[in-house]
Structure 1
Amino acid sequence: MLTKFAVTNYRGFANRIEWELSHPANYEFNKTAIKDGIIKNGILYGPNGSGKTNFSLALFDIENHLSQKWKKVDYYANFIYAGNKNGVVTFEYTFQLGNNEIYYAYAKNASGILVEESLSVDNANVFVRKGNSVQIDKQQFPMDESIERNLGNNANNVSIINFLRTSYPLDAEHYLIKLSKFVDSMLWFRNLDIREFIGLESSSTMLDDFIIRNNLLDDFSEFLQQVSGQEFKFMVHNPTDKQILCKIDNDEVPFQLIASTGTRSLQLLYFWLKRINDASFVFIDEFDAFYHFKLAYEVCRRLFAMDCQIFTSSHNTYLMTNDLLRPDCNFILNNNVIKCLADCTDKELRFGHNIEKIYRAGAFHEE
C-alpha cells in the first residue's frame, strides 16, 4: 500500500507538498477505511484551483517510467513550476509492501528526463544515482564497474529499478517485483469533457463493446437501477454489435443517444469497477462532476467497500459525513498543504458530529 507521497516544484506546487496516509487517528467507527494501519479510502477536497488534479497527476508520475501503461500524451506540456524551469521536479514515494517498507525518490528536469533516482528498503540503501554518479549495493546486485558507470551515463532515460528487475533473476516475493506489480496496477481516471486514464490498461476500450462482448447487458442494467434508480431495457441483435440499444415501447434507440452526461459517466465507472479488482491504488479525479449528491454517496459506498486503496477528489461536502468515512479520511488541499480534518481541529470529533456542518461553519483550520 502507498503510505506517503510528496512532490516539489511540480506545476503549481513551488514548494514541497506531502500526503501522509500512515498515521490514521484512533476512531472506533468505519474501521474498514483503514487497512494494516494505513488509510485505505479517502476523499480530497479543496477550493477551485487549489491543485487537486495536478497533485493526483503528480502521484501517478511513477507510472511514466516504471510501467508500460502510461496514457497521457500531453503530460509534459505543463510539467515544472513556471517560476523555476531550470530546476527539477522531485517525487518521493513510500510503500508498505508485505514486510518491506520501500522508499523511492527521483527527480526529473523540465523535459521529463530522469536526473536523480534513489531506492531504499527497510532503511537500507539499494542504489543512489545523482547526475552521472551511481552507487549500487553490490551484495544484492553484483556487477562490473563498467556497467555501473554506464547506468550513470545512460542517455535513454531508463530507470535503474527497471534495469535491475529485468537483468537479475528475482523471486516473486522480491521487493522490486512487488513494487513493479503495485505500480503497474495503479489507476487514475476521470470523465469530464474528455475521458482520460493512466495505468492498469494499455489501450482504450469502447464501453458499449466491452459490455456486449462480456455478456454484461443485464448486469449493467441492474447496476444503473441500483445506484441511480434508472431503468433501462437493453438489447443487441448480434453478439458482435458495437452499440447497446434501448427498448422503448416499440422502438429501439442507441443508449448513447438517450443517456445523460451523468449516466454516461456511470457507464465509465461501471467499466472500471469491473477492472478495479486488479488494481492496487485508484484515484478518481472529480468522480462526481455529473452526479446528483445522493448518487455520489452511493458510488462512494460501493468504491470504498473494495479491497484496494481508493481515493477520489470532490467538491461535494455532502460526502463529508461519518456515515461514509471518518475525519482522518477526509483531506483538505489548500495553499500547498494537505491535512485531514482530524488534524484541522483540537476538538475531539465523534461519530455523531455533523462534520460537514462544522466544515461549512469554518471551524476547521486548514493551514
Structure 2
Amino acid sequence: MLRKFSVKNFRNFTNWLCFDLTSQQYEFNEIAVNKGIVRHAMIYGPNGGGKSNLGLAMVDPVLHLVDSPSYFPSLNNNYLNGRSSAQIAEFIFEFRIGDAEVVYKYGKKAWDKLVYEHLTINEINVLYVDRRKSTLASIALNGAETLKNDVGDSWISLLKYVKSNAILDDTAINETFLALLDFIEGMVFFRSLNATNKGEYVGKDIGVKQLSQSIIESDSIEDFERFLNDAGIECSLVVDINPNASGNKSIYFNFGEIKLEFGTAASTGTLSLGIFYFWWLRLNKGEVKFAYIDEFDAFYHHALASAIVEKITTSQAQTIMTTHNTGVMSNDLLRPDCYFVLDKKISPLTELTEKELRKAHNLEKIYKGLSS
C-alpha cells in the first residue's frame, strides 16, 4: 500500500506537497485502515485546489511502467508547473509492500521522459540513474548482473527495463520488487464527470471499448440490474444484439415490447452509476490495487453517495475519493483520520481542529465550522 506521497513542480504544484496516509489510533471502522495505513480516504477542497491533479500525480508511475497506458491527452503539453523555472517534475512514493519499506523517487521532464530514478527497499539501494550526471545506471538485483547498465539516450524506466529483460533470482528483495510493480500496474485514476463509455481514466489499458462489454463478458448483468435497483433506479435489463455496433451485444433497458440501449437511454446519473459499476468489477476482482476516484458522487443523491462509499470500503484496494459532499463526512462511513482537506497543503481533519475527535463527533459540523 501507499503510505506517503510527495510531489513538486507537477501541474499546479509549485512546491513540495506531502500527502501522509499514516493512520491514527481509533478503535472503530477498522476496515478503513490496514496496518497503520489509511486504506480508504476522502479528500475535500476548493475548486481549482488541485484534487484532480493530485490524483494524476499519484498514478503517474503507470505512465512509464505500463505498456501503452491510457492517459489524459492534456498531459502532453500541460505536465510541468507553469510558474516554476524547474525543468522536471519530481515525485516520491513511500510504499509498504508486505513487511518491506519501499521508497521510489524520480523526476521527469515529460510524462514519458524520466530524468532520474531511485529505488530503495528497506533502505538498500536497488536501482539508480540520474541522466543529468551520467548515463550509467546502478542495478543491484540478483539475476540482473548481466544487464547493460548504460541507458544511453533512452528515457526508459530502470524498473521496466529490469522487469522486461532479466530473470530475477528468488530473493526477498526481488519478491518485493515484483510485488511493487504489480501494485503499480493496478493503479488507476478515474472519474465519471465525462459521461463516456468508461468515464475518463488513467491506467493500464483495460482492453474494452464499452462498459457494457465488460459487464456482459463477466456475466454480471443480473448483478448490475440489482445494483441499479438498489440505487433507486427501477429497471429491467437484458442483453441483445446491437445492430449499430457491428453485431456486438449490448445492454438494453427492457420495457416489454420496447428495448432501449443502455448507453443512449440512460440519464447522466444512471450512466455515471454504470461507469462506477464497470470499475467496481475490477476493484472487487482485485485487478485494481489503488484507485483514485475523482468527484465520485458528482451525479448522486447524498444517500446514494453514502451507499457507494460503503460499497467501496468492502474492496481490498486502497482507494482515495474526492468530493464536495459534506454529507458523507461521517464516522458512520469512515473515521476522522480518513478525511483530508486539500488547500495549498493536504491535512487530515484531525490536524485542523484542536478537538480530540472521537466516534460521537459530528465531523460534517466540525468541517463546516473550519470553513466558515
Q: So what's the TM-score if we normalise by structure 1?
A: 0.91
Match of 2:356 in 1: 348
Q: 2:163 aligns with which of 150, 162, 165?
A: 165
SS in structure 1 of the partner of residue 103 of structure 2: strand
Bigger Cα displacement from structure 2, 341-350 vs 243-252? 243-252
Match of 2:31 in 1: 32
Quote the offset at 1:61 in angstroms: 0.9
Segments of 5+ residues of structure 1 without an aligned counterpart are none
**Structure 1 residues 110 and 161, CA gap change in structure 2 (3 angstroms):** closer
Provide the rounded CA distance (Å) in 2 between the counterparts of 1:246 and 1:116.
52
| 1:21 equivalenced with 2:28 (yes/no) | no
**Structure 1 residues 111 and 127, CA gap change in structure 2 (3 angstroms):** closer
Alignment check: 8 A CA contact 2:144 2:162 kept? no
| 1:230 equivalenced with 2:239 (yes/no) | no
- Cα deviation 1:224-248 (Å, max 9, x = unaligned): 111x121111123459653222222
Alignment check: 8 A CA contact 1:76 1:112 kept? no
Aligned residues: 357
Residue pairs, 1:1-367, within 5 angstroms: 1-22=1-22, 24-68=23-67, 70-74=69-73, 75-110=75-110, 112-130=112-130, 131-133=132-134, 134=136, 136=138, 138=140, 140=142, 143=145, 147-148=148-149, 150-151=150-151, 154-170=152-168, 171=170, 174-193=175-194, 194=196, 195-226=199-230, 228-237=231-240, 241-248=248-255, 250-276=257-283, 277-335=286-344, 337-362=345-370
Identity among equivalent positions (%) equals: 34
Alignment check: 8 A CA contact 1:165 1:176 kept? no
**Structure 1 residues 140 and 244, CA gap change in structure 2 (3 angstroms):** closer
Alignment check: 8 A CA contact 1:69 1:184 kept? no
Quote the offset at 1:14 in angstroms: 0.4
**Structure 1 residues 295 and 93, CA gap change in structure 2 (3 angstroms):** same
- Cα deviation 1:317-338 (Å, max 9, x = unaligned): 1111110011100010001x11
Provide the rounded CA distance (Å) in 2 between the counterparts of 1:215 and 1:124.
46
Alignment check: 8 A CA contact 2:63 2:112 kept? no
Bigger Cα displacement from structure 2, 290-299 vs 232-241? 232-241
**Structure 1 residues 95 and 344, CA gap change in structure 2 (3 angstroms):** same
Bigger Cα displacement from structure 2, 214-223 vs 167-176? 167-176
Provide the rounded CA distance (Å) in 1 between the counterparts of 2:218 and 2:207.
17
SS in structure 2 of the partner of residue 48 of structure 1: coil
Q: CA RMSD of the aligned region, Å? A: 2.2
Provide the rounded CA distance (Å) in 1 between the counterparts of 2:111 and 2:357.
45
Q: So what's the TM-score if we normalise by structure 2?
A: 0.89
Provide the rounded CA distance (Å) in 1 between the counterparts of 2:267 and 2:304.
14
SS in structure 2 of the partner of residue 274 of structure 1: helix
Provide the rounded CA distance (Å) in 2 between the counterparts of 1:54 and 1:272.
20
Bigger Cα displacement from structure 2, 343-352 vs 229-238? 229-238
SS in structure 2 of the partner of residue 109 of structure 1: strand
**Structure 1 residues 114 and 327, CA gap change in structure 2 (3 angstroms):** same
Provide the rounded CA distance (Å) in 1 between the counterparts of 2:167 and 2:25.
42
- Cα deviation 1:152-172 (Å, max 9, x = unaligned): xx2221111122223332238
SS in structure 2 of the partner of residue 236 of structure 1: strand
Quote the offset at 1:85 in angstroms: 4.7
- Cα deviation 1:133-190 (Å, max 9, x = unaligned): 245255746647x933x22xx2221111122223332238622211111111112111
**Structure 1 residues 182 and 69, CA gap change in structure 2 (3 angstroms):** farther
Provide the rounded CA distance (Å) in 2 between the counterparts of 1:7 and 1:132.
22
**Structure 1 residues 139 and 298, CA gap change in structure 2 (3 angstroms):** closer
Q: Which amino acid aligns with 1:220?
A: F
Quote the offset at 1:258 in angstroms: 3.1
